[in-house]
Amino acid sequence: MCALGLAWVRVPSAPLGYRDFKVCPRLGSVTGILRCALGSARSPKSKVVERSRDHNHRTSTIFSFKKFILLQPLLNQSIMLRTHTCGELNMAHVSQNVILTGWVQRSRDLGGMTFVDLRDRYGLTQLVFNMETHAALCVQARKLGREYVILVSGKVSERSNKNAKMPTGDIEITVEKLDILNESKTPPFTIEDNTDGGDELRMKYRYLDLRRNVVKRNMELRHRLAFQTRNYMDSLNFIEVETPVLIKSTPEGARDYVVPSRVNPGEFYALPQSPQTFKQLLMVAGFDRYFQIVKCFRDEDLRADRQPEFTQIDCEMSFVEQEDIFDTFEGLTKHLFKTVKGIDVVKLPRMTWADAMKYYGSDKPDIRFGMEFIELNDLVKGKDFKVFDDAELVVGINAEGCAEYTRKQLDELTDFVKKPQIGAGGLIYLRYAADGTLKSSVDKFYTPEHLGNWAKAFDAKPGDLLLILAGKANKTRKALNELRLEMGNRLGLRNPETFSPLWVYDFPLLEWDEDSKRFYAMHHPFTSPKPEDIPLLDTDPGAVRANAYDMVINGVEVGGGSIRIHDKTMQHKMLQLLGFSEEDAQAQFGFLMNAFEFGAPPHGGIAFGFDRLCSLFGGSESIRDYIAFPKNNAARDVMIDSPARISDDQLKELSLKVSI
């Protein structure tokens, strides 16, 4: 509150009026004046005097207060340039004088009248310029180009030709004053929902792309998800703590992005692939419940659902077991679905990793539809059909109601499974025709009775089509998973507006890599084995299950985590199993093992891929649509043209030489 002296300053305030505030001249700066003004405005004792109701006068005065406008964050809505947004006016406002600001979406010249659609973040409002009553204004309006930034004042009028599709479609503004705040070059693509701009062009001018409704709505969805996440986490006493971005390269996981250190020549920071070790250290520090909406960096080959920098909702809790993590984050999932999509999610089903692989051939099953795998080894072997006899696994799915598929459709499916990225040798089918007859592509090896047994195993009905693959177990499951998803798409069973979340748990602790002949941590090296499997660490490490879990929604892994190792000896043993020498283990993770010697509590956590969650909630497969400034497939930001070379001076300063 300002108590030193008085002066008057005009601040635009309520629609079409002014408020004069007592201000302190000794504060000198505009910021000081405004702070003081706001303080006064809030005080019941302040003298607030309505001075003028002349909005034209107001409009021109605004420009002499340009500096004030730059300080908008300090101010509330009532003292901005406009009285309303372009999305809010309706019949209730008819006859009111208003001031609107925004971008020219399009204009139409109909002789005596010029119509302009004015757009801002909140919507579109139709402006009318009347040649008869305001000829000069109308001439001015005819010169407005697309994306010009304008300020208009005028009266809200009822439209004679209402547009039921627009929220503001009942009214228009009869313009009485027009100010061009800024001109615009013609944009390189149309700022419409269905734009004519290609991907690359839209990314180069992303700030224009972001003006499009569809992209803007994605950003709003992202904001709501982040906001509701913070609400929920805060309500459960989680504290958001920032962890460093310049950290240390670790050999596990994906490739690191690295940053050279000028003050430590020849040494590099790495950008975090996740804040994993830091959140564990926060547990050692006693922070008990941590979360962070945080950027992570992984130098991987890119796809539609990957970006070099992406965002996680990263969480960790102390004194918990797996069940507590399930409860807490099932709660977060329900909260987000409820508050952001208005959907009630009931209890999440749970599936062991082993079952997910057996029945869906994937650790991220899409359970919006059934079509579970049925294994046929016992029914098909020993009948001289070499493909089945030699196969480690014969397994199939029932495509219900598809018995009428044509030869061409079956050939398409065969071509699909034989694609190199899917890798099956061929596809065997059994039609269960509507008349009850069974017809398969391997009739000559199997009697109708045999085929009847297959149909029984699938619980098939007349009209169904069984699709069967055979070969090495893992490869065949993987291929059948792809075929199942393809059939799900063809049969319209994967509606993006239906959400089927579940927990997949009991993942293997380790994964054997044939090329390097060593184990890798399936989740990460800090994941604890299931206590009952600990003895297997010495005898059969590959069979050890982890206290690790993923949350999967509609076939997308949206989150994953584990109960951690919090014991130095166990952590050390794990690193040994992963092939770390004593020295390397110390150099890489000594800080964590040391911390475990100072009273580390039992702890566990999870991280959600925030961009993926956004795209899933938005019904899209591409996370790029939900990131304000994403990178392209070549990891480039084409708008700022990055990555880019640095100068020789910079290289020298960093003690770096480039050899290409």
Residue numbers of the site for ligand ASP (CB under 6 A)?
274, 276, 560-562, 605-607
Q: Given the complex with ligand ASP, which of 101 and 571 has the nearer CB atom?
A: 571
Q: Given the complex with ligand ASP, which of 561 and 630 has the nearer CB atom?
A: 561
* Whole-number Å distance between alpha carbons of 301 and 369: 30
Q: Given the complex with ligand ASP, which of 10 and 564 has the nearer CB atom?
A: 564
Burial of residue 237 (number of CB atoms within 10 Å: 0-12, 13-18, 19+) = exposed
Task: Convert 550-582 to b/e letters by CB count within 10 Å (16 or more is b).
Answer: bbbbbbbbbbbbbbbbbeeebbbbbbebbebee
Q: How far is the CB of 246 from ligand ASP (least distance, A)?
A: 18
Q: How far is the CB of 238 from ligand ASP (least distance, A)?
A: 14
* Whole-number Å distance between alpha carbons of 501 and 347: 9
Type of residue found at 405: Y
Burial of residue 395 (number of CB atoms within 10 Å: 0-12, 13-18, 19+) = buried
Q: Given the complex with ligand ASP, which of 548 and 614 has the nearer CB atom?
A: 548
Q: How far is the CB of 321 from ligand ASP (least distance, A)?
A: 15
Q: Given the complex with ligand ASP, which of 34 and 613 has the nearer CB atom?
A: 613
Q: How far is the CB of 236 from ligand ASP (least distance, A)?
A: 17
Q: Given the complex with ligand ASP, which of 83 and 562 has the nearer CB atom?
A: 562
Q: Estimate to the nearest angstrom the gap between the alpha carbon of 182 and the chain centroid.
A: 34
Q: Given the complex with ligand ASP, which of 562 and 571 has the nearer CB atom?
A: 562
* Whole-number Å distance between alpha carbons of 307 and 611: 9
Cα–Cα distance list, 294 to 329, 330, 361 (Å) = 17, 20, 32
Ramachandran category for residue 138: left, alpha or beta (phi over 0 → left; psi -120 to 50 → alpha): alpha
Q: What 8-state DSSP symbol labels residue 339?
A: I
Q: How far is the CB of 424 from ligand ASP (least distance, A)?
A: 31
- Residues 21, 11: contact at Cβ < 8 Å? yes
Closest residue by Cα to residue 191 from 127, 105, 86: 105
Instruction: Characterize the bridge pairing of strands 374-375 and 393-399.
Output: antiparallel
Q: Given the complex with ligand ASP, which of 296 and 455 has the nearer CB atom?
A: 296
Cα–Cα distance list, 281 to 158, 321, 401, 567, 616 (Å) = 63, 18, 55, 13, 32
Q: Given the complex with ligand ASP, which of 222 and 603 has the nearer CB atom?
A: 603
* Whole-number Å distance between alpha carbons of 168 and 98: 14
Q: How far is the CB of 226 from ligand ASP (least distance, A)?
A: 18
Q: How far is the CB of 561 from ligand ASP (least distance, A)?
A: 4
Q: How far is the CB of 603 from ligand ASP (least distance, A)?
A: 10
Q: Given the complex with ligand ASP, which of 168 and 243 has the nearer CB atom?
A: 243
- Residues 360, 372: contact at Cβ < 8 Å? yes
Q: Given the complex with ligand ASP, which of 58 and 564 has the nearer CB atom?
A: 564
> Which residue is at the shortest CB distance from ligand ASP?
274
Q: Who contacts 30 (Cβ-Cβ below 8 Å, separation ≥6)?
A: 67, 68, 71
Burial of residue 548 (number of CB atoms within 10 Å: 0-12, 13-18, 19+) = buried
* Whole-number Å distance between alpha carbons of 3 and 22: 10
Cα–Cα distance list, 314 to 237, 278, 292, 594, 658 (Å) = 15, 11, 5, 23, 36
- Residues 526, 280: contact at Cβ < 8 Å? yes
Q: How far is the CB of 449 from ligand ASP (least distance, A)?
A: 51
Q: What 8-state DSSP symbol labels residue 548?
A: E
512: phi then psi, degrees, rounded to nearest 5: -85, 130
Q: Which two tokens stand for residue 308?
A: 């070099």
- HSE at residue 303, side-chain half, CA atoms within 13 A, is 3
Q: Given the complex with ligand ASP, which of 37 and 553 has the nearer CB atom?
A: 553
Q: Which two tokens stand for residue 552?
A: 């999967």
Q: Who contacts 343 (Cβ-Cβ below 8 Å, separation ≥6)?
A: 337, 499
Q: How far is the CB of 274 from ligand ASP (least distance, A)?
A: 3
* Whole-number Å distance between alpha carbons of 229 and 292: 10
Closest residue by Cα to residue 109 from 86, 131, 125: 131
Q: How far is the CB of 316 from ligand ASP (least distance, A)?
A: 7
Q: How far is the CB of 354 from ligand ASP (least distance, A)?
A: 20
Q: How far is the CB of 253 from ligand ASP (least distance, A)?
A: 8
Q: How far is the CB of 606 from ligand ASP (least distance, A)?
A: 5
Q: How far is the CB of 650 from ligand ASP (least distance, A)?
A: 32
Q: Which two tokens stand for residue 312?
A: 């996680």
Q: How far is the CB of 118 from ligand ASP (least distance, A)?
A: 45
- Residues 74, 36: contact at Cβ < 8 Å? no
Cα–Cα distance list, 280 to 172, 318, 470 (Å) = 58, 9, 44
